Structure formats: C-alpha cells, structure tokens
Structure 1
C-alpha cells in the first residue's frame, strides 16, 4: 500500500498540535492517477474541480441549473450568441487579475485543443471579449451553452498555464480557494489555501492527495485514519468499515437492458414486453450489488432528483408468450458486475419461456457487434448525464434514428420528435418536463429496460464536515470543508 503523502500529512497534524488544529490539512485517497499530467483539457480536469483549485464561468446546482461562478450574469442575445459578464476583483493564483481577455483566451484554448474537450464534441464555438464580458458564438442554436461552460474542462487559467504545443500546466494558475503547488506525477498532488481567494477564505490550510488505485488500500486508509476522505470505497471494503464513515452517493449511471427493435424476434412489441416483465430487478440488486444501488423506475435515476416527481405511468403493449423463442444476450467483462447481471437475466428469461444464448467478451472485442445490432439484448452500464449536466445528448445518442450509440437500433418518429423538442427547450423546469416526456416515449417502445442506478461509496473520517457528495463527481472539497470541533 503506497500512501506516503497521506501518512506524512497525518504526522504533521499530530506533531504541530494546536496550530494544525486551528488550520488543519486534509488527506485524500483518490481513485485514479492523472491520465494527462493534470491537464484541464482532459478528464483530469475533474480532479482539479474536486480539489477546488480550478473554476469555470458557470456552476450547476443539484438540479443541473446553471448558477454564477466566475461569470456573474449572462444573456442570450440571439439563437447563436451569448454574453457573459465577468466577475471583478478575482485574482489568479500567480497574482495576475482575471479579465474578459484572459477568459476568452482560456476558452479559445479549449475550443482549439486537439483533441477537443468532450463537452464540445459536435459544437462549433468562438469567443470574443470586450471590457466587461465575453461573447460566445455558436454555429447553431444551442440553449445549453451555459451548461457547457460549467464543464471542468472549460476552467479558466492564468496565462502562465499555457505553454507550447497545447500543453496546459495548472500549478499556481487557477482561481479557486486552493492553489495547486505540486504535481508529483502519478503519485500525489499538494494544494495550499489561497489567501487572496475572491470568495470565502478556505477553512482548511490545504489538501494532500494520494492516488490509491487499489480498492483494498483505499478502504484500509479510511479504517486506519491515514486518509480523511476516500473516493470510491469498494462494496467489499464497505462492510469492513464503520457505517458512520460510509456515504453512498447516487450516480447518473444506469444499468440498462437494450432491446433490438429492428431485427430478430424482439421486433415484436409483445415479446419486448415479455422480456421487461421477466427481468427481476430486486434479485439483481440484492445479490450482485449487495443492496448498494437503486432500483430503476426510468432511464434517469436519483442523481437527477427532479426526474421521479415528473413521471407518469408508461403504457406498454400486452406481453406475448415466448414459447421457446431463441434470443441472444450480450454484455462485456470490463465491468465485473455485468456478467453476473447477465447470468441472472438469462435465468429469468429462461424461466419465462425464452431460449437464451449468452455472449460475453471484453468491451473492445464486442463493441462493433453491439452497435451493429448483432444481439437481441445487450446489458450496458451507461452514463446518463454527460459533461453538460443534461441527459438529452445521451438520449439522442442512444435512441434517436441518427444516434451514434443506438444499440437498440430504434427509429421511432414519436421518440425523435420528443427528443427534438427537449433539445430546443431552454434549461429549467420546462426542459426537465420535456426530457421526461422523451424518456416516456423511449420507454413505451420497449427499446430499453432500465435495471438499476449505480451508487458510488465515499468514505469520510469522523469529524470531517461539509465535504461534497456530488453525483456528477465535480466537487469534493470546497472552501467550507473542515473538521468539526
């Protein structure tokens, strides 16, 4: 087990006595090491966001609604033009000031990056500036521009961060309450409180983060007090830890049984209903996930708290008798729980009267057949909210006629019309209702049978206060995080 900085930080707390009690540091065991040297233009941006060292123009609230951060206000000037007023009095960690010009340069660096940040896939965007604001122009009508600018990959950095050949180094260059002072490769990172933060002064003196890929080691770090916060405690370890230290956070990820609607026996809506009735969600939840997941009532789970309250019952066709119908069921081994789910689904379908052939491979070896519609059924763990905090892009990708990830081979005019309406609707309650209307249209086709919604288990030592338990995994430690007296 390799937790050197965590142990050193804990020792410092003990040796320093009262001074450290007043200004404590916090030790964190992170799930994965950086993939790209903590470049904010990669998925490493989410670490910078979780440490509150990098900030974006916009942040999302629990419902996914944009809120001010480095932008104080914004206005949609026309279908393709937005104006964002930039907060005054903000300093970067190197002491330089935040300006509209600097914001535009950061955003344009992301727009022109190769590869482009995932949030900008398929999006044409350009940014200009004046004395007070930045002007964002898109190539098409896009009501999700504020949501896109909330992505950690669109964080704003000082000029010093940007080097040659697109390299971005985030040390001493963000605007958050903690300044990233050390990057120790794939081993650890060190952050200190930023005394000139524009918002509330951080309660912690700093953060010491170790990357601990082994789940058993992360569980041990929490049990022994070596780490005060631990990402992604494995289910097998959770049972060994004091329940008061374990916090289950719903994830925007749904385990779904995709049903081939274009070819094979399940083009019959009645047989699709028979499949849906046969799936025993409760058994899967109890046995494979040991109760640490949520039974699905729709495509969108409790990580989107507004979804369930907007739903109405879905009307399905009457089920047909399987009567020995032969079907193929596929999944992959990369997620250890999915083959176990496939076994239980296969058993349930067999008992219902189907004859089931399973095909389980590594994802790299099965993806092409999955997307080509080779299988009658396919089990997939799918993220339902991508970087924008909005599920429409996932629904379009998976269930529209032109969807690039359309495992179900679905092409339904009613579904496409509902998705188009949702995509055009401004963020807010009206968009949420349009999304649930689209979900209902998808569910009614029988193209997808959601099984359960996953959770992530976050460990917090006794006394840790105000750590964030964020389903989107954007926030973890903030200026409010501390140790209770």
Structure 2
C-alpha cells in the first residue's frame, strides 16, 4: 500500500479537515479532532432507508449526511466543486477530465486506488434506475496512472466536477460490489464514520473510522434513529433521547428553546407537480387553472409560519444569483373552468408540513371548482407510484441543488422526456431544447443565464407550481457543537461534530 504511514496520514488529515467542514455554517470553531475519545452522538433523521442504504437511490443523502460516504469532489458554500477524494483535477478536452487522488483508505482497510475509483464510478454509471446526477449523461472511468483517474462523458459536460460531488456518485471499495445486484456501504466507504449495523428501517449504528484521511472524528460514533413523525423527533430531542433532530416541524419549533433551534436557508423548494401525461392535468388549460387557484404567499405565512418564502420559481432566494436573472415564462395556456373535475393530490408525511400544505391546496383548488381527494403516505411507500404517474398531482419538497449542485442538471432530471425523476411526466420539445442548450454552456454566469431561460420554458408548461422556498429547522442539544448546517442538505455530521 503506497499511502502515508498512519501517523503521518493522521497529521496531514488534521491540516486538511477544514476543507471538509469549513464549507458550511458550523456550531463550533473547532473543526478537527482532539486527542481524547468523544461521546457517541444520538441523531434522529426524518427519512428511513428506503432501499437498504443503496447509495444510488433515495438513501444516498442519508449516507452523506451521516458522514459515511464521499465522492471525488464536494460542494463548497458558493456551489463550486471542492476537493474531496480527489485533491485536484484538470480538463483534458471537452469530454474528459483527469482527477488526481489523495492518499486515503477505505473503511475495510484497502487503499483508495485509481482502479478502485474507476470500478466504483463504473458501477454507479450502470445503476438502474439511473442515479439522479447522471440523468441524460453517460460516463466512463478508467485508471490513468499512479494516482489519477480519467472520467469521460459521452458528450461535452462542463459540469462534470460538480456532478461528481453528488451523494449518488460515491466511491466504495470492491467489497461493496460482492453481490451482483446489490451494493453495500457497510464498512466499505471512506467517510469519518463507518456504518456497522443496520436495524431494518428504524436504526443504524456507526463507529468512528480512525484512519479517515480528513482527521479523526471527535465523536466516537453515531446512533441514528429514523423517526418519520416530526413531533416524535422533536420530543426525542426535548426529552434527551437524541442530541440532534433534523427537520423540526414549524409547528414544533416554539416548543424548543431558542438556543436549541438552528434555521438554515436552503435550496429546497416545495412544489405542486401536475401529471402532464394522463388524467385531468394532461390538459394545459386545467394546469393553468390549478396554478391560478393557488396562493403561495398564504402558504408561506400560514403553513410555514414565516419559515419559508413564497414560490417564485424552481430556483429560490437561497441562490442569490437567480433573482436578477429570472426570465418571465411565456406560452402559458389560458385557464379553463374546472367545473367539478376530480383530481387526486398525493404527498408524504416525512416532512410534516407537506400534509398540511396538501390540505390547504385542497381547499384552494376546491374553491376554484375542482373536486380533490388527498392521499398521504410515508415517502418510501409513495415514490414508485408517483414516478409511475398514478396521481394527478404530487406535493414534493425538492432540493434543487442536491443531486449535482448544477442548476441545469435538476431541470434535466426532473422535467425532460428522459429525466429520471420526472414526477410531472413532462415531455415537451421546447423544454428539452432549452435544457439541452443550457447543458452546452460552460461559463458559470453564462450557464446560470441559460438555466433561467430553461426554467422559464418549464414554468411555461404549468407542469410545476413552485409553492414555497423552505428554511430548515434543526433541533440541537445544548452539549452539541460542530454540526454542519448545509444549505444543500448533503452534510450534517463531520469530523468536528461532538457532544
């Protein structure tokens, strides 16, 4: 193994640790580990694993938030690609990038080598269904010398370093792929915490990975509970059952002391997705009627009690560049009177505001003349039906920068004919053309401009009605510090998180 000796690697990791945890607001100025073993952290998360911690699906962000998995890059506070397992990279041509790896080890003791990285990315690229960061994108990866990996896209992709920061494109050891049709992150990842035990969909146990390249974590481990009910999560924090509770409902925020609440502006937008393929909202005039019936300001003031901003687009105010670049949608159909048209609106209860949002939408739509049936389930029991178009409308809270950090990629995955997370089942030539054009633009400002033009094309179809742009409330125990408050919602626990 050609990595640094363990002691030298540990010291080097201490110097590099701020690179990982300095990207987002932290609860403490101390970012890396001290000498003594820390206490275990007890954490309550809102979403249980839906696919046995498969890193290519909905569970990818669970793994990254718990500090288990990493990719070649990560997002910094400005939304740019920053080093992670790759310490640097360069563009060879319009399709290929060369990444230089840092000295790091997998949690099973093997070395992070170019061959191992290429194997991991190849497996991710071949996942079915396609992981969200690769919607409409084909990648190949190969070892390219001592410490380098070449990643090549089938067509020019200026956002590739951003794309590789996705929680769905993590690097695992060869042991993770021992079974042909399954991927296991248990003991095979590279992050500061190692997943050691999974108890169904209710709990997980993580231990500190002492050979982590970024420094030894201050907490000795993590005991995670998955509690879908927001009130129960908040009560667990209030009674000392957990040290951290994510996604505290706005209705429960005042039950916590002010010092126990952390509010973070995020790039998460709650939207109403309308089924454009079949049912009542196949008609663009019916979609226009639904849009005109909705009072987004009332939702922000009422349901979210001021902890959200009225929906203005797919991209919200957390992306400070978006407001000055927004393009007015054109080509919208004229609204037609609903005249008692029956529709089913579905949502999930992992985010406790959503059922209340759906209830208010029901009232607003019925006032406009629709007949509305609500369906509420836990997310893992709802997603497949939503993607299959079994509902007329779907209320979803989606972090627009979660998958890649690239504003164009979310449009490709969510609103194009070949999109892998197209809940509106939208297939529109004008939208596909605008997104395809945006994907060819390389400069940051120019790509943002193109993204806003494509956003206007999507909004012009009325396939999506942006409702509110959320702020997330995290419940934090008095003894906890070093928590990562990430607007992209990819990170939560790092080497400096402790109790």
The answer to whether structure 1 residue 98 and structure 2 residue 112 are counterparts is: yes
> What is the match of residue 346 of structure 2?
333
The answer to whether structure 1 residue 390 and structure 2 residue 403 are counterparts is: no
Give 1:481 deviation, angstroms.
Answer: 1.7
1:71-120 Cα deviation digits (max 9, x unpaired):
12222322332221111x21222332221111112222223344543433
1:233-290 Cα deviation digits (max 9, x unpaired):
2334333222332233435233247598999998679x95x87666432222233333
Distance 1:416 1:236, change over 3 A: same
> What is the match of residue 8 of structure 2?
none
Alignment of 1:95-174 (within 5 A): 95-129=109-143, 130-174=145-189
Residues in 2 aligned to 1:344 and 1:114: alpha-carbon distance in whole angstroms: 39
> What is the match of residue 60 of structure 2?
45
Distance 1:400 1:326, change over 3 A: farther
1:384-409 Cα deviation digits (max 9, x unpaired):
44522334244346656887848596
Alignment of 1:267-278 (within 5 A): 272=288
Residues in 2 aligned to 1:346 and 1:100: alpha-carbon distance in whole angstroms: 55
Alignment of 1:331-410 (within 5 A): 331-335=344-348, 336-346=355-365, 349=368, 356-362=369-375, 380-381=395-396, 383=398, 384-385=400-401, 387-396=403-412, 405=422, 407=424
Q: Residue 303 of structure 2: which of 255, 273, 288 is its match?
A: 288
The answer to whether structure 1 residue 71 and structure 2 residue 90 are counterparts is: no
Normalising by structure 2, we get a TM-score of: 0.76
Say whether the 8 Å CA contact 2:55–2:170 is kept in structure 1. yes
Residues in 1 aligned to 2:363 and 2:78: alpha-carbon distance in whole angstroms: 34
Give 1:348 deviation, angstroms.
Answer: 6.1
Say whether the 8 Å CA contact 2:386–2:394 is kept in structure 1. no
Q: Residue 474 of structure 1: which of 468, 479, 490 is its match?
A: 490
Distance 1:20 1:181, change over 3 A: farther
Give 1:360 deviation, angstroms.
Answer: 2.6
Residues in 2 aligned to 1:264 and 1:159: alpha-carbon distance in whole angstroms: 46
Residues in 2 aligned to 1:426 and 1:275: alpha-carbon distance in whole angstroms: 36
Say whether the 8 Å CA contact 1:288–1:340 is kept in structure 2. no
Residues in 2 aligned to 1:318 and 1:159: alpha-carbon distance in whole angstroms: 51
1:401-432 Cα deviation digits (max 9, x unpaired):
8878485968574x555433311112633212
Say whether the 8 Å CA contact 2:271–2:464 is kept in structure 1. no
> What is the match of residue 433 of structure 1?
449
Distance 1:116 1:209, change over 3 A: same
Residues in 2 aligned to 1:42 and 1:367: alpha-carbon distance in whole angstroms: 13
Residues in 2 aligned to 1:403 and 1:327: alpha-carbon distance in whole angstroms: 32
Distance 1:253 1:320, change over 3 A: closer
Give 1:132 deviation, angstroms.
Answer: 2.4
Residues in 2 aligned to 1:389 and 1:49: alpha-carbon distance in whole angstroms: 15
Distance 1:347 1:475, change over 3 A: same
Secondary structure at the residue paired with 2:180? helix
Distance 1:20 1:31, change over 3 A: farther
Give 1:56 deviation, angstroms.
Answer: 0.8
Distance 1:341 1:38, change over 3 A: same
Residues in 2 aligned to 1:304 and 1:158: alpha-carbon distance in whole angstroms: 35
1:204-239 Cα deviation digits (max 9, x unpaired):
222222223333321111101221111222334333
Secondary structure at the residue paired with 1:334? strand
> What is the match of residue 203 of structure 1?
218
Residues in 1 aligned to 2:276 and 2:50: alpha-carbon distance in whole angstroms: 35
Residues in 2 aligned to 1:403 and 1:192: alpha-carbon distance in whole angstroms: 37
Alignment of 1:171-250 (within 5 A): 171-249=186-264, 250=266
Secondary structure at the residue paired with 1:153? coil
Distance 1:182 1:359, change over 3 A: closer
Moved more, 330-339 or 47-56: 330-339
Residues in 1 aligned to 2:119 and 2:329: alpha-carbon distance in whole angstroms: 51
Residues in 1 aligned to 2:236 and 2:269: alpha-carbon distance in whole angstroms: 27
Moved more, 160-169 or 440-449: 440-449
The answer to whether structure 1 residue 461 and structure 2 residue 480 are counterparts is: no
Length, aligned pairs only = 448
Distance 1:282 1:255, change over 3 A: same
Give 1:54 deviation, angstroms.
Answer: 1.7
Distance 1:321 1:60, change over 3 A: closer
Secondary structure at the residue paired with 1:217? helix
Secondary structure at the residue paired with 2:360? helix
Residues in 2 aligned to 1:146 and 1:115: alpha-carbon distance in whole angstroms: 22
Residues in 2 aligned to 1:407 and 1:115: alpha-carbon distance in whole angstroms: 17
Gaps of 5+ in 2: 1-33, 349-354, 376-381
Residues in 2 aligned to 1:265 and 1:26: alpha-carbon distance in whole angstroms: 48
Secondary structure at the residue paired with 1:340? helix
Higher RCO structure (Cα 8 Å, ≥6 apart): 2
Say whether the 8 Å CA contact 1:215–1:233 is kept in structure 2. yes
